[in-house]
Amino acid sequence: MGRKALKGIAADVAASFISHNNDADGYWAIGKLHEHAREHSTAKVLIDLSGQLSGTLSEFASIAAKYGSMVETQTAAKGLRVRSSQIEIEFDLPKTRQCSADETGFICAVTIVDDRGQAWIHKAPGCSHPHDPKRERRSSRVQGEAAGR
C-alpha cells in the first residue's frame, strides 16, 4: 500500500475529530477545545497524538489517546509506519455561510509524518462556539458510563 494512503487516513481522522460524536467529558470536544483556547488567549490548539500533552491540555489526554490509536490501527492495517501525528485546530476564523450567528470558523489540520519524514496533511473546516454548559446538554453516553461505575 502506498504512502499516499496516509492522506486518506488523515482525512478520516479529521472527519471523526470534528464530528459532534467526539466527546470530551460528555460535551462536543471542539467546543471544549475552543473554550480552552479562549481561556489561554490563543487561537490554536495542538494535540500531539503520541500522548505528549502539555499540562494545560491534560484534560484532553483521552482524546489524544483515542485518535493516536486510530492512526496507529489504520496505518498498521496498511503496513505503513509513521514518525508522528498531530491535530491542530485554529479557532476564531472568519465565519462561513454555514456558521450560525454565534459561531466562528475553525480549521482542523491532521498531520501524519511518515517514516521517510514526509508530512501528509488534511484540513477540515467547520464552525464552532466555545463550550457553554448553560446552553448545551451533556451526552447521555457519559452519564450512563458514570452511573455504571
**Are 27 and 133 in contact, with CB atoms under 8 Å apart?**
yes
Beta-strand relationship, 44-48 and 82-93: antiparallel
Grid coordinates representing 113 are: 509524518
pLDDT (tens place) for every residue of the chain, 149 residues total? 588 999 999 999 999 999 988 988 888 999 999 999 999 999 999 999 987 777 788 889 999 999 999 999 999 999 999 999 999 999 999 988 888 988 999 999 999 999 999 999 999 999 998 887 667 666 665 544 444 43
pTM above 0.85, yes or no: yes
In terms of Cβ atoms closer than 10 Å to its own Cβ (0-12, 13-18, 19+), residue 29 is buried
